Structure 1
Amino acid sequence: MAIKVKFFASLREQLPAADSQVDADGVATIEDVWQRATANALIPAHVLCSVNLEHRELHAPVSDGDEVAFFPPVTGG
């Protein structure tokens, strides 16, 4: 099966695979999803992540059918 992947804001502009799916085989954590979806690109400092619309850390587990989203750090002014 697959894990749905979404990138937002500047991450969406920087990465060639803006929204995609990755094969769930061998994927255990959010960091694994990032590596597979971005062809091993470096993870930006302070990137925010969610699994099924709930905030999670990079080491959090993922499962087949999950939706994983990545957001750049939020700044305000």
Structure 2
Amino acid sequence: MTVRVLYFARFREAMGMDAEQVRGEFMDIRALRDFLVAQGGHDVLAEASLMCARNEELCQLDEPVLPGDEIAFFPTVTGG
């Protein structure tokens, strides 16, 4: 399957890209994230406090991934 992965804020800056196409078989977003981290260059995604969205809707890492999905990763936002 192929999914489009988007990166926002400091994740985009750390990886030097805002999006990529990823091919593989992923049961859920956690498996996709683990695959990306294992590839190298995506270490920032290993952070414990990470937010994600599937097809523009916030979700958890256990959200299933389907062919053609758009998955976004972004850091949590804190205010003051």
TM-score scaled by length of structure 2: 0.80
Q: Cα RMSD (Å) of the superposition?
A: 1.8
Rounded Cα–Cα distance in structure 2 between residues aligned with 1:70 and 1:32: 13
1:11-67 CA deviation, whole Å, 9 max, x = no partner? Answer: 1111255411111x3211111222333426352121000000111111111100000
Q: Which residue of 2 aligns with 1:10?
A: 10
Residue pairs, 1:12-27, within 5 angstroms: 12-16=12-16, 18-23=18-23, 25-27=24-26
Q: Which residue of 1 aligns with 2:33?
A: 34
Rounded Cα–Cα distance in structure 1 between residues aligned with 2:18 and 2:34: 14
Please identify runs of 4+ aligned residues in structure 1 that moved more than 4 A: none
Task: Give the residue type in structure 2 aligned to 1:11.
Answer: F
Cα distance 1:43–1:32, how it changes in 2: closer, same or farther (>3 A)?
Answer: same
Richer in helix (by share): 2
TM-score scaled by length of structure 1: 0.83
Task: Give the residue type in structure 2 aligned to 1:44.
Answer: E
Task: Give the residue type in structure 1 aligned to 2:36.
Answer: A
Percent identical pairs in the alignment equals 37
